[in-house]
Each structure stands twice: as C-alpha cells, then as structure tokens.
Amino acid sequence: MIRVEGTPQDSSDRDSQSRSRVVLGRAGRFVPQPAAGVGTEGRRRHPRRMPSFAVVGGRLATGVTDVTDDLAALDGSGFWIVVVDFEGAARCVRFADVRPAPPLAALASRPWHGPARVAWTSSLDRAGYIDRVGRIRAEIAAGEVYQVNLCRVLSVPVADDGAEGIAALGMALARGNPAPYAAVMYVPEADVRVVSASPELFLSRRADVVRSGPIKGTGRVASDLRAKDVAENIMIVDLVRNDLGRVARLGGVSVPALCAVEAHPGLVHLVSTVEARLRPDVGWPELFAASFPPGSVSGAPKSSALRIIAELESTPRGPYCGAVGWVDAGRGLGELAVGIRTFWFAAGCLHFGTGAGITWGSDPEMEWRETELKAERLLGIGSVTPVNGVSGM
C-alpha cells in the first residue's frame, strides 16, 4: 500500500497537500514533498487550488490518506474510491473526510469549457469498425465465440486545468445527463481524473449479498429494441450468473429481474439483475477474480471474447468498461459501476469510449450507429462551450 505521509487534519493543511508532489520513498511509499517554488512565500504568490476530491454515491470525499493497487485493502477499513481499468490496473484511494455531497455547482467555480465537437478523433472510423464487426461474425461462424463487445475510444487534446475542470465537467454532466452511478473523481496522487455518467451497475455489495445489473440492448425508444437485444441480454445474464456462481454459496445465485426496459437521457436500455450470496471466505480480490472485466462489455465466452478484443481494438480502454465507484470497507458496503458513458483525462487528452455488442445477428451498419447513439448526447455535453458565461447545453 502507498501511504500519504503527514495526512492533513484541517482544511489549510489539505490545501497545502494539494500543492505537493509525491516522490518514491523507502519501501515503495510515496512521501509528499513541496512542489518546486512553493513554500511559505509560494502559498502567498499562487492562487488557491482545489485539493483532491471525489463525489460518488452521494458523498464528497476529501483528505487522501492511502493509495494502493491491492484490492485486499477494500476488505479492511475506511472509505475508498475505486477505479479499475478494463485491462486490470487498479487504483484504490482511501479518504479521511467523507460527508454528504453538495451540488457540484458548489465545487465548480465556472462552467465547463469544452473542445469543438469536430475536434474529436476515433480510434476506429466507420469503415474500420464495420470491418471488425465482420471479423467477429467470422469468429462466431467458426465457433470461437458467441458475442463480443467491440469498442472505440474518442479523444481530443485538452489543457489540464486540474480539479476545476473535472468539477466543471461533472456539473455539466449532472445537469445534462443525470445518471444513477455518476462519479466525479480528481485524485492526481493516483492518476485518477474521471467523470462518469454510468447507468450500469457492475457490483453492489451489502455484507455477503452482491448484485449486478448488466445492460444489453439500446435504442432511442423501447420500440427500437430488437429480438437480437433480448437474446444478447439473456446470454450475458447467463455469463454473469456463472461468474458470480464461482464465489457464491451453493444455490445462492438468482435473477430477480430479466430484460426490464429502463429509460435514461436520450435512450432506453434492457437491464437485468443478478444477485448472489457470497461464501464466507470471499473478499473483494476473489470477487474481482471471478467477475472482472464485466461480462456486458467483454463477451461470451469471456476468455475468447477478451482474446478477440485484444486483437481487434487498437487502443486500450482504460477506465472505460472497467469499474468505477466506492467501497465503505468497515461497513461492508460498496457500489461499483461499469465505466461506460465515462470521460477521463490522460496524456494531455480528454477521452470517451463507446461500443456495441456483436452477435451473429448483428448488422454492421446498425452496430456502428449504436456506438454513435451512445456517444451523441455525452459528447454534445463534453464539447459544449459557454456563451456569455452561460452553458449552451
């Protein structure tokens, strides 16, 4: 575990921590050091900057105390935020101060200044995506796989304006695309800069009861949903049942809801619910080993789908399609979303992912249009530029 030494106890100390850089100390621990040019005089010269924070699960968390990639820490104590990339890299951050979250407008001092919509580029263009849909259908015909979630990552260069930018984008999404598993996270100590409007539950945990809510099937309205969507949803429910069955008590897996239609801003989804009662020896590492990455954004069988994804997708997904959420370790509670409808900042760019599930019954052009539909509203919000100080959403 990476422990942040000298954890601040009051707001002035927390502000000082936000202006620190971290260096590798003994035993692999990060020790905050004063940033270049920042001392007593530096605090007078430079404007006040927001410290690391997370708004998730209706809570505002501040005061970072620990950063680790060890999921076993989530079975200990304290309140943690969790980001696990689709490729498996985990970042768990424990906070000292947790309280009910205020409106994001209280954290964002200005509106979101988004890039031009036309400035976004895609890791796969239309021709490339349609070609890969055909290659997946060939894999299905050969008996290698039943379903594969094919994704692309959209990116645009942006200036890193720190916590202010994260809070402003989070406020824009909260107003324009409210979501049940929304998250706004700015923790540079852990390289976490994520704003999510996820509608999909990966895992919630209440003591030994865990629940997952896989989404498969998307349309503008319910009448757009097809028989292919229902079949795909049932296929992924079976996969999730199998995943959770690996760590559940005998007979402890159930499906309380199957293919329910849920309305979200600008579209509808087919959503199912899978519930399991865990064995006494199962902690978060075992739960992730059994169920990650989420079945709805990988495919079935999962091992074959992951091989094909690695072959066909040119860009790592990062937090997109991974897990984003919180764990209250001491109380045995947690809620992790699938990292869809999610923006993240990395390498001087703002990124956003979109994708579609490919089956034998897929029409390549329709699958491309589904990726466009899923991105349309969120990119419109993420690309908005304020006019006369008022957001043009």
> Of the listed 139, 200, 275, 335, which one is catalytic?
200
- Helices of type H across 246-332: 284-291, 302-312
Query: DSSP character for 144?
Result: S
**Residue partners of 173: CB distance under 8 A and separation at least 6:** 179, 182, 195, 197, 343, 378, 381, 382
Question: Other CB atoms closer than 10 Å to residue 71's CB: what's the count?
Answer: 21
The 3-state DSSP composition of the chain as helix, strand, coil percent (nearest 5) reads: 35, 35, 30
216 included as an active-site residue: yes
Cis peptide before 301 (omega within 30 of 0): yes
> Of the listed 139, 164, 189, 216, which one is catalytic?
216
Query: DSSP character for 390?
Result: B
Tell me whether residue 350 is exposed, middle or buried, using C-beta atoms within 10 angstroms of its C-beta: 0 to 12, 13 to 18, 19 or more.
buried
Give the total residue count for the chain.
Answer: 393
200 included as an active-site residue: yes
**Residue partners of 348: CB distance under 8 A and separation at least 6:** 157, 158, 160
Give the catalytic positions in this structure. Answer: 200, 216
